[in-house]
Amino acid sequence: MMRLFLRLILALLVMAGPLRAEFAIQEVISPGGIRAWLVEDHGIPFTALEIQFRGGHALDLPGKRGATNLMTALIEEGTGDLDSVAFATARDALAAQFRFDSNVDSVSVSAQFLTENRDQAVDLLRRALAAPRFDDVAIERVRGQVQSILRNDAQDPQAIAGRLFNAQAFGDHPYATDGTGTPESVAALTRDDILAAHRNAIARDRIYVGASGDITAAELGPLLDRLFGELPATGAPLPPQTTLALTGGVTVEPFPGPQSVILFGHDGIPRDDPDFFAATIVNEVLGGGRFGARLMTEVREKRGLTYGIGTYLADYDQADLMLGQMSSSNATTAEAIAVVRSEWARIAAEGITAAELEATKTYLTGSYPLRFDGNSRIARILVGMQMIDLPIDYPATRNAKVEAVTLDDVRRVAARLVQPDALRFVVVGSPEGLESSN
Protein backbone atom coordinates (compact mmCIF):
# COMPACT_ATOMS: atom_id res chain seq x y z
CA MET A 1 0.00 0.00 0.00
CA MET A 2 1.90 3.04 -1.21
CA ARG A 3 1.97 6.07 0.94
CA LEU A 4 1.78 8.47 -1.97
CA PHE A 5 -0.63 8.18 -4.79
CA LEU A 6 1.15 7.33 -8.00
CA ARG A 7 2.68 10.37 -9.48
CA LEU A 8 0.74 11.67 -12.43
CA ILE A 9 2.28 10.56 -15.66
CA LEU A 10 4.03 13.42 -17.36
CA ALA A 11 2.69 13.15 -20.86
CA LEU A 12 5.72 13.96 -22.92
CA LEU A 13 7.97 15.62 -20.43
CA VAL A 14 11.14 13.80 -21.20
CA MET A 15 13.79 14.76 -18.72
CA ALA A 16 16.03 11.81 -18.74
CA GLY A 17 19.63 11.87 -19.56
CA PRO A 18 22.89 10.27 -18.72
CA LEU A 19 25.75 12.01 -17.03
CA ARG A 20 28.10 9.11 -17.56
CA ALA A 21 31.00 9.70 -19.88
CA GLU A 22 30.76 6.30 -21.53
CA PHE A 23 27.03 6.68 -22.07
CA ALA A 24 26.30 7.64 -25.65
CA ILE A 25 23.25 7.92 -27.86
CA GLN A 26 23.97 6.88 -31.42
CA GLU A 27 21.91 7.88 -34.38
CA VAL A 28 21.40 4.96 -36.73
CA ILE A 29 20.09 5.51 -40.25
CA SER A 30 19.14 2.28 -41.96
CA PRO A 31 20.15 1.63 -45.59
CA GLY A 32 16.48 2.25 -46.42
CA GLY A 33 16.48 5.62 -44.61
CA ILE A 34 14.74 4.83 -41.34
CA ARG A 35 16.19 6.65 -38.36
CA ALA A 36 16.60 5.28 -34.83
CA TRP A 37 18.42 6.31 -31.67
CA LEU A 38 20.39 3.63 -29.92
CA VAL A 39 22.12 3.11 -26.60
CA GLU A 40 24.23 -0.02 -26.70
CA ASP A 41 24.59 -2.01 -23.51
CA HIS A 42 25.74 -5.58 -23.85
CA GLY A 43 25.39 -6.47 -20.16
CA ILE A 44 22.14 -8.42 -20.54
CA PRO A 45 21.42 -10.52 -23.65
CA PHE A 46 18.26 -8.83 -24.85
CA THR A 47 17.14 -5.70 -26.72
CA ALA A 48 14.36 -3.28 -25.85
CA LEU A 49 12.82 -1.65 -28.92
CA GLU A 50 10.34 1.18 -28.56
CA ILE A 51 8.41 2.32 -31.64
CA GLN A 52 5.94 5.17 -31.98
CA PHE A 53 3.76 5.99 -34.96
CA ARG A 54 2.64 9.59 -34.63
CA GLY A 55 -1.10 10.17 -34.99
CA GLY A 56 -2.96 7.84 -32.65
CA HIS A 57 -6.63 8.25 -31.79
CA ALA A 58 -6.66 11.72 -33.35
CA LEU A 59 -6.53 10.00 -36.76
CA ASP A 60 -9.95 8.36 -36.37
CA LEU A 61 -12.12 9.23 -39.36
CA PRO A 62 -15.43 11.05 -38.78
CA GLY A 63 -18.00 8.66 -37.32
CA LYS A 64 -15.33 6.00 -36.70
CA ARG A 65 -14.37 6.87 -33.13
CA GLY A 66 -12.47 4.02 -31.55
CA ALA A 67 -11.17 2.55 -34.83
CA THR A 68 -7.49 3.22 -34.11
CA ASN A 69 -7.82 1.85 -30.59
CA LEU A 70 -9.54 -1.34 -31.73
CA MET A 71 -7.11 -1.77 -34.63
CA THR A 72 -4.13 -1.50 -32.28
CA ALA A 73 -5.62 -4.07 -29.92
CA LEU A 74 -5.99 -6.46 -32.84
CA ILE A 75 -2.38 -6.35 -34.06
CA GLU A 76 -1.48 -9.23 -31.73
CA GLU A 77 -4.39 -11.35 -32.98
CA GLY A 78 -2.60 -13.02 -35.82
CA THR A 79 -0.94 -12.47 -39.19
CA GLY A 80 -0.58 -14.50 -42.39
CA ASP A 81 -0.98 -18.20 -41.67
CA LEU A 82 -0.96 -17.57 -37.90
CA ASP A 83 -4.31 -17.04 -36.18
CA SER A 84 -4.62 -15.52 -32.69
CA VAL A 85 -3.54 -18.66 -30.89
CA ALA A 86 -0.76 -19.53 -33.31
CA PHE A 87 0.64 -16.02 -33.08
CA ALA A 88 0.61 -16.00 -29.28
CA THR A 89 2.15 -19.46 -29.25
CA ALA A 90 4.93 -18.43 -31.62
CA ARG A 91 5.67 -15.28 -29.63
CA ASP A 92 5.70 -17.10 -26.31
CA ALA A 93 7.86 -19.91 -27.67
CA LEU A 94 10.46 -17.24 -28.52
CA ALA A 95 9.89 -15.65 -25.08
CA ALA A 96 9.57 -12.34 -26.90
CA GLN A 97 7.34 -9.65 -25.40
CA PHE A 98 5.33 -7.33 -27.67
CA ARG A 99 2.95 -4.71 -26.33
CA PHE A 100 0.77 -2.67 -28.69
CA ASP A 101 -0.88 0.44 -27.34
CA SER A 102 -2.49 3.63 -28.55
CA ASN A 103 -3.14 7.08 -27.13
CA VAL A 104 -4.39 10.41 -28.42
CA ASP A 105 -1.17 11.13 -30.30
CA SER A 106 0.41 7.83 -31.24
CA VAL A 107 0.32 4.09 -31.68
CA SER A 108 3.16 2.49 -29.78
CA VAL A 109 4.92 -0.83 -29.89
CA SER A 110 7.11 -1.96 -27.01
CA ALA A 111 9.15 -5.02 -27.84
CA GLN A 112 11.71 -7.00 -25.89
CA PHE A 113 13.49 -9.95 -27.43
CA LEU A 114 16.40 -12.19 -26.58
CA THR A 115 19.65 -11.95 -28.48
CA GLU A 116 19.60 -15.71 -29.12
CA ASN A 117 16.49 -15.53 -31.32
CA ARG A 118 16.43 -11.87 -32.31
CA ASP A 119 15.92 -12.49 -36.04
CA GLN A 120 12.92 -14.76 -35.50
CA ALA A 121 11.34 -12.34 -33.02
CA VAL A 122 11.80 -9.39 -35.35
CA ASP A 123 10.38 -11.40 -38.22
CA LEU A 124 7.27 -12.20 -36.21
CA LEU A 125 6.84 -8.55 -35.21
CA ARG A 126 7.31 -7.48 -38.85
CA ARG A 127 4.52 -9.77 -39.99
CA ALA A 128 2.19 -8.59 -37.22
CA LEU A 129 2.74 -4.91 -37.95
CA ALA A 130 2.57 -5.07 -41.74
CA ALA A 131 -0.33 -7.45 -42.24
CA PRO A 132 -2.53 -8.25 -39.26
CA ARG A 133 -5.26 -10.74 -40.15
CA PHE A 134 -8.12 -8.85 -38.50
CA ASP A 135 -10.15 -12.07 -38.44
CA ASP A 136 -13.85 -11.51 -37.87
CA VAL A 137 -13.85 -13.81 -34.86
CA ALA A 138 -10.95 -11.89 -33.28
CA ILE A 139 -12.63 -8.57 -34.05
CA GLU A 140 -15.78 -9.67 -32.25
CA ARG A 141 -13.90 -11.00 -29.23
CA VAL A 142 -11.72 -7.90 -28.81
CA ARG A 143 -14.65 -5.58 -29.55
CA GLY A 144 -16.38 -7.27 -26.60
CA GLN A 145 -13.40 -6.43 -24.40
CA VAL A 146 -13.44 -2.80 -25.53
CA GLN A 147 -17.16 -2.59 -24.81
CA SER A 148 -16.50 -3.97 -21.33
CA ILE A 149 -13.89 -1.26 -20.77
CA LEU A 150 -16.37 1.39 -21.95
CA ARG A 151 -19.01 0.11 -19.53
CA ASN A 152 -16.40 0.24 -16.79
CA ASP A 153 -15.35 3.78 -17.71
CA ALA A 154 -18.98 4.89 -17.60
CA GLN A 155 -18.98 3.92 -13.89
CA ASP A 156 -15.49 5.19 -13.06
CA PRO A 157 -15.48 8.70 -11.56
CA GLN A 158 -11.93 9.27 -12.79
CA ALA A 159 -12.86 8.41 -16.37
CA ILE A 160 -16.10 10.41 -16.16
CA ALA A 161 -14.19 13.46 -14.97
CA GLY A 162 -11.62 13.11 -17.76
CA ARG A 163 -14.32 12.89 -20.42
CA LEU A 164 -16.18 15.93 -19.09
CA PHE A 165 -12.99 17.94 -18.88
CA ASN A 166 -11.88 17.08 -22.42
CA ALA A 167 -15.32 17.79 -23.84
CA GLN A 168 -15.18 21.29 -22.38
CA ALA A 169 -11.58 21.90 -23.33
CA PHE A 170 -11.41 20.79 -26.93
CA GLY A 171 -14.63 21.74 -28.75
CA ASP A 172 -14.67 20.11 -32.20
CA HIS A 173 -11.12 18.73 -32.07
CA PRO A 174 -10.64 14.94 -31.86
CA TYR A 175 -9.15 15.44 -28.38
CA ALA A 176 -12.64 16.33 -27.15
CA THR A 177 -13.84 12.74 -27.15
CA ASP A 178 -12.47 9.50 -25.79
CA GLY A 179 -10.32 7.60 -28.27
CA THR A 180 -11.78 4.33 -27.05
CA GLY A 181 -14.99 5.46 -28.74
CA THR A 182 -18.58 5.15 -27.58
CA PRO A 183 -20.58 1.92 -27.24
CA GLU A 184 -22.43 2.90 -30.43
CA SER A 185 -19.36 3.90 -32.49
CA VAL A 186 -17.43 0.78 -31.45
CA ALA A 187 -20.43 -1.45 -32.21
CA ALA A 188 -20.63 0.02 -35.72
CA LEU A 189 -16.96 -0.45 -36.70
CA THR A 190 -16.46 -2.83 -39.62
CA ARG A 191 -13.43 -4.79 -40.72
CA ASP A 192 -12.97 -2.22 -43.50
CA ASP A 193 -12.90 0.57 -40.91
CA ILE A 194 -10.19 -1.31 -39.05
CA LEU A 195 -8.18 -1.83 -42.23
CA ALA A 196 -8.50 1.89 -42.99
CA ALA A 197 -7.31 2.77 -39.47
CA HIS A 198 -4.32 0.49 -39.99
CA ARG A 199 -3.41 2.12 -43.31
CA ASN A 200 -3.79 5.58 -41.77
CA ALA A 201 -1.76 4.99 -38.63
CA ILE A 202 0.96 2.45 -39.43
CA ALA A 203 3.20 4.06 -42.04
CA ARG A 204 6.87 4.85 -42.58
CA ASP A 205 6.49 8.63 -42.67
CA ARG A 206 5.68 8.79 -38.94
CA ILE A 207 7.93 6.22 -37.29
CA TYR A 208 10.11 7.05 -34.29
CA VAL A 209 12.41 4.37 -32.91
CA GLY A 210 14.45 4.01 -29.73
CA ALA A 211 16.56 0.94 -29.04
CA SER A 212 18.63 -0.08 -26.07
CA GLY A 213 20.46 -3.21 -25.08
CA ASP A 214 22.45 -6.00 -26.64
CA ILE A 215 22.57 -4.84 -30.25
CA THR A 216 25.10 -2.87 -32.28
CA ALA A 217 24.46 0.00 -34.67
CA ALA A 218 25.56 -2.22 -37.55
CA GLU A 219 22.97 -4.81 -36.57
CA LEU A 220 20.17 -2.32 -35.91
CA GLY A 221 20.25 -0.64 -39.35
CA PRO A 222 19.29 -3.68 -41.45
CA LEU A 223 16.86 -4.76 -38.72
CA LEU A 224 14.94 -1.50 -39.17
CA ASP A 225 14.57 -2.10 -42.90
CA ARG A 226 13.41 -5.67 -42.36
CA LEU A 227 10.96 -4.61 -39.68
CA PHE A 228 9.39 -1.64 -41.47
CA GLY A 229 10.20 -2.22 -45.16
CA GLU A 230 6.75 -3.53 -46.07
CA LEU A 231 4.81 -0.65 -44.51
CA PRO A 232 3.22 1.98 -46.74
CA ALA A 233 5.31 5.10 -47.26
CA THR A 234 2.67 7.53 -46.01
CA GLY A 235 -0.32 7.54 -43.68
CA ALA A 236 -3.17 9.96 -43.03
CA PRO A 237 -2.58 13.69 -42.45
CA LEU A 238 -2.27 14.72 -38.81
CA PRO A 239 -5.02 16.79 -37.16
CA PRO A 240 -4.56 20.55 -36.73
CA GLN A 241 -3.48 22.43 -33.63
CA THR A 242 -6.34 23.40 -31.41
CA THR A 243 -6.99 26.26 -29.05
CA LEU A 244 -8.65 25.52 -25.76
CA ALA A 245 -12.30 26.36 -25.33
CA LEU A 246 -12.00 26.03 -21.57
CA THR A 247 -13.44 28.65 -19.20
CA GLY A 248 -12.97 29.14 -15.48
CA GLY A 249 -15.54 27.66 -13.11
CA VAL A 250 -16.85 24.52 -11.50
CA THR A 251 -18.64 21.59 -13.11
CA VAL A 252 -20.26 19.10 -10.75
CA GLU A 253 -21.35 15.68 -12.02
CA PRO A 254 -23.30 13.72 -9.40
CA PHE A 255 -21.90 10.28 -8.56
CA PRO A 256 -22.42 8.07 -5.50
CA GLY A 257 -19.57 7.37 -3.10
CA PRO A 258 -17.72 8.77 -0.10
CA GLN A 259 -15.38 10.98 -2.09
CA SER A 260 -15.34 13.31 -5.05
CA VAL A 261 -12.77 13.04 -7.82
CA ILE A 262 -11.57 16.49 -8.83
CA LEU A 263 -9.75 17.35 -12.06
CA PHE A 264 -8.68 20.91 -12.65
CA GLY A 265 -6.70 22.84 -15.21
CA HIS A 266 -6.31 25.45 -17.87
CA ASP A 267 -4.06 26.40 -20.79
CA GLY A 268 -0.45 25.20 -20.61
CA ILE A 269 2.79 26.05 -22.36
CA PRO A 270 4.35 24.50 -25.48
CA ARG A 271 7.32 22.23 -25.00
CA ASP A 272 9.46 24.39 -27.31
CA ASP A 273 8.64 27.68 -25.57
CA PRO A 274 11.81 29.41 -24.32
CA ASP A 275 10.16 29.64 -20.91
CA PHE A 276 9.38 25.93 -20.70
CA PHE A 277 12.01 25.22 -18.04
CA ALA A 278 10.83 28.10 -15.88
CA ALA A 279 7.30 26.74 -16.27
CA THR A 280 8.53 23.30 -15.24
CA ILE A 281 9.91 24.79 -12.05
CA VAL A 282 6.66 26.67 -11.36
CA ASN A 283 4.74 23.41 -11.75
CA GLU A 284 7.13 21.48 -9.49
CA VAL A 285 6.88 24.05 -6.72
CA LEU A 286 3.11 24.31 -6.95
CA GLY A 287 2.03 20.75 -7.59
CA GLY A 288 4.91 18.34 -8.12
CA GLY A 289 3.81 15.00 -6.66
CA ARG A 290 6.46 15.36 -3.96
CA PHE A 291 5.95 16.24 -0.30
CA GLY A 292 7.69 19.59 -0.48
CA ALA A 293 5.30 20.88 -3.16
CA ARG A 294 2.90 23.59 -2.02
CA LEU A 295 -0.36 21.80 -2.83
CA MET A 296 0.77 18.57 -1.18
CA THR A 297 1.81 20.56 1.90
CA GLU A 298 -1.33 22.67 2.14
CA VAL A 299 -4.00 20.15 1.13
CA ARG A 300 -2.58 16.92 2.53
CA GLU A 301 0.14 17.55 5.11
CA LYS A 302 -1.42 20.53 6.91
CA ARG A 303 -5.12 19.78 6.52
CA GLY A 304 -5.50 16.06 5.79
CA LEU A 305 -8.01 16.77 2.99
CA THR A 306 -6.66 14.27 0.46
CA TYR A 307 -4.45 11.25 0.06
CA GLY A 308 -2.61 12.87 -2.80
CA ILE A 309 -2.61 15.87 -5.12
CA GLY A 310 -0.46 16.76 -8.09
CA THR A 311 -0.29 19.00 -11.12
CA TYR A 312 1.50 18.56 -14.39
CA LEU A 313 2.21 20.20 -17.71
CA ALA A 314 0.45 18.08 -20.30
CA ASP A 315 1.96 18.67 -23.71
CA TYR A 316 0.02 16.87 -26.39
CA ASP A 317 0.97 17.17 -30.04
CA GLN A 318 -1.83 19.63 -30.79
CA ALA A 319 -2.54 21.29 -27.42
CA ASP A 320 -0.86 22.22 -24.14
CA LEU A 321 -2.48 22.16 -20.72
CA MET A 322 -1.65 22.58 -17.09
CA LEU A 323 -3.65 19.95 -15.20
CA GLY A 324 -4.14 18.78 -11.65
CA GLN A 325 -5.99 16.07 -9.82
CA MET A 326 -7.07 14.99 -6.33
CA SER A 327 -9.80 13.14 -4.46
CA SER A 328 -11.40 14.37 -1.25
CA SER A 329 -14.27 13.35 0.99
CA ASN A 330 -17.55 14.92 -0.08
CA ALA A 331 -17.65 17.00 3.10
CA THR A 332 -14.20 18.50 2.45
CA THR A 333 -14.20 18.85 -1.34
CA ALA A 334 -15.24 22.51 -1.31
CA GLU A 335 -12.51 23.32 1.24
CA ALA A 336 -9.89 21.43 -0.80
CA ILE A 337 -10.87 23.37 -3.92
CA ALA A 338 -10.66 26.65 -2.01
CA VAL A 339 -7.12 25.78 -0.93
CA VAL A 340 -6.13 24.97 -4.52
CA ARG A 341 -7.58 28.29 -5.72
CA SER A 342 -5.75 30.16 -3.02
CA GLU A 343 -2.41 28.52 -3.85
CA TRP A 344 -3.03 29.12 -7.54
CA ALA A 345 -3.55 32.84 -6.83
CA ARG A 346 -0.57 33.07 -4.47
CA ILE A 347 1.99 31.66 -6.90
CA ALA A 348 0.57 33.74 -9.78
CA ALA A 349 0.90 36.92 -7.74
CA GLU A 350 4.12 36.27 -5.84
CA GLY A 351 6.11 33.67 -7.74
CA ILE A 352 8.30 31.45 -5.61
CA THR A 353 11.04 31.97 -3.04
CA ALA A 354 14.75 31.75 -3.67
CA ALA A 355 14.89 28.70 -1.42
CA GLU A 356 12.15 26.96 -3.40
CA LEU A 357 13.97 27.73 -6.64
CA GLU A 358 17.21 26.25 -5.37
CA ALA A 359 15.58 23.14 -3.91
CA THR A 360 13.66 22.51 -7.12
CA LYS A 361 16.78 22.94 -9.24
CA THR A 362 18.73 20.44 -7.18
CA TYR A 363 15.82 18.01 -7.40
CA LEU A 364 15.42 18.34 -11.15
CA THR A 365 19.12 18.20 -11.92
CA GLY A 366 19.88 15.49 -9.39
CA SER A 367 17.07 13.19 -10.47
CA TYR A 368 18.00 13.60 -14.12
CA PRO A 369 20.66 10.89 -14.41
CA LEU A 370 18.60 8.45 -12.36
CA ARG A 371 16.01 8.08 -15.07
CA PHE A 372 18.23 6.34 -17.58
CA ASP A 373 17.73 3.12 -15.75
CA GLY A 374 17.46 -0.10 -17.69
CA ASN A 375 17.08 -0.88 -21.37
CA SER A 376 13.31 -0.55 -21.46
CA ARG A 377 13.23 2.87 -19.84
CA ILE A 378 16.11 4.11 -21.97
CA ALA A 379 14.41 2.99 -25.19
CA ARG A 380 11.20 4.77 -24.16
CA ILE A 381 13.10 7.95 -23.37
CA LEU A 382 14.98 7.86 -26.67
CA VAL A 383 11.75 7.66 -28.63
CA GLY A 384 10.13 10.37 -26.49
CA MET A 385 13.02 12.75 -27.15
CA GLN A 386 12.59 12.31 -30.90
CA MET A 387 8.81 12.75 -30.72
CA ILE A 388 9.25 16.22 -29.22
CA ASP A 389 12.11 17.07 -31.52
CA LEU A 390 14.91 17.33 -28.97
CA PRO A 391 18.48 17.27 -30.28
CA ILE A 392 20.51 14.12 -29.73
CA ASP A 393 22.89 15.98 -27.44
CA TYR A 394 20.03 17.22 -25.27
CA PRO A 395 21.10 15.13 -22.27
CA ALA A 396 24.39 17.01 -22.14
CA THR A 397 22.75 20.44 -22.11
CA ARG A 398 19.53 19.91 -20.21
CA ASN A 399 20.75 20.51 -16.66
CA ALA A 400 22.37 23.79 -17.71
CA LYS A 401 18.98 24.95 -18.97
CA VAL A 402 17.43 24.20 -15.60
CA GLU A 403 20.26 25.97 -13.80
CA ALA A 404 19.88 29.06 -15.99
CA VAL A 405 16.34 29.80 -14.78
CA THR A 406 16.25 32.89 -12.52
CA LEU A 407 13.79 34.00 -9.87
CA ASP A 408 12.62 36.74 -12.25
CA ASP A 409 12.02 34.20 -14.99
CA VAL A 410 9.90 32.17 -12.62
CA ARG A 411 7.92 35.20 -11.47
CA ARG A 412 7.24 36.28 -15.05
CA VAL A 413 6.25 32.80 -16.17
CA ALA A 414 4.11 32.15 -13.10
CA ALA A 415 2.14 35.31 -13.82
CA ARG A 416 1.61 34.22 -17.42
CA LEU A 417 1.03 30.48 -16.94
CA VAL A 418 -0.89 30.26 -13.69
CA GLN A 419 -4.34 31.83 -14.12
CA PRO A 420 -6.61 31.56 -11.07
CA ASP A 421 -9.65 32.89 -12.95
CA ALA A 422 -9.23 30.48 -15.85
CA LEU A 423 -9.14 27.40 -13.67
CA ARG A 424 -11.89 24.88 -14.44
CA PHE A 425 -12.71 22.27 -11.79
CA VAL A 426 -14.57 19.14 -12.84
CA VAL A 427 -15.95 17.38 -9.77
CA VAL A 428 -17.45 13.90 -9.96
CA GLY A 429 -19.08 12.86 -6.69
CA SER A 430 -21.56 14.18 -4.17
CA PRO A 431 -19.71 17.22 -2.83
CA GLU A 432 -21.38 19.15 -0.03
CA GLY A 433 -21.95 22.85 -0.57
CA LEU A 434 -20.64 22.91 -4.11
CA GLU A 435 -22.60 23.43 -7.30
CA SER A 436 -21.84 23.92 -10.96
CA SER A 437 -21.07 27.57 -11.56
CA ASN A 438 -21.69 27.81 -15.28
DSSP state string for 267-308: E---TTSTTHHHHHHHHHHHH-SSTTSHHIIIIIITT---S-
Residue 171 or 258 having the CB closest to another protein = 258
**CA-closest candidate to residue 129, choices 57, 185, 77, 164:** 77
Instruction: State in angstroms the smallest separation of the CB of 438 from another protein.
Output: 27
Instruction: State in angstroms the smallest separation of the CB of 4 from another protein.
Output: 6
Q: What CA–CA distance (Å, rounded) separates 323 from 263?
A: 7
Instruction: State in angstroms the smallest separation of the CB of 216 from another protein.
Output: 17
Instruction: State in angstroms the smallest separation of the CB of 401 from another protein.
Output: 16
Residue 53 or 100 having the CB closest to another protein = 100
Q: What CA–CA distance (Å, rounded) separates 148 from 143?
A: 9
In sequence order, which ranges of 171-202 are alpha helices (DSSP H)? 183-188, 191-201
Instruction: State in angstroms the smallest separation of the CB of 171 from another protein.
Output: 27
Write the single-letter amino acid at 321. L
Contacts of residue 11, defined as CB under 8 A and 6 or more positions apart, other chains included, come to 312, 313, 314, 315, 316
Contact at 8 Å (CB) between 392 and 37?
yes
Would you call 213 helix, strand, or coil by DSSP? strand
Residue 35 or 151 having the CB closest to another protein = 151
Residue 61 or 95 having the CB closest to another protein = 95
Residue 185 or 260 having the CB closest to another protein = 260
Instruction: State in angstroms the smallest separation of the CB of 359 from another protein.
Output: 5
The conformational region for residue 374 under phi > 0 = left, psi -120 to 50 = alpha, else beta, is left
Residue 1 or 233 having the CB closest to another protein = 1
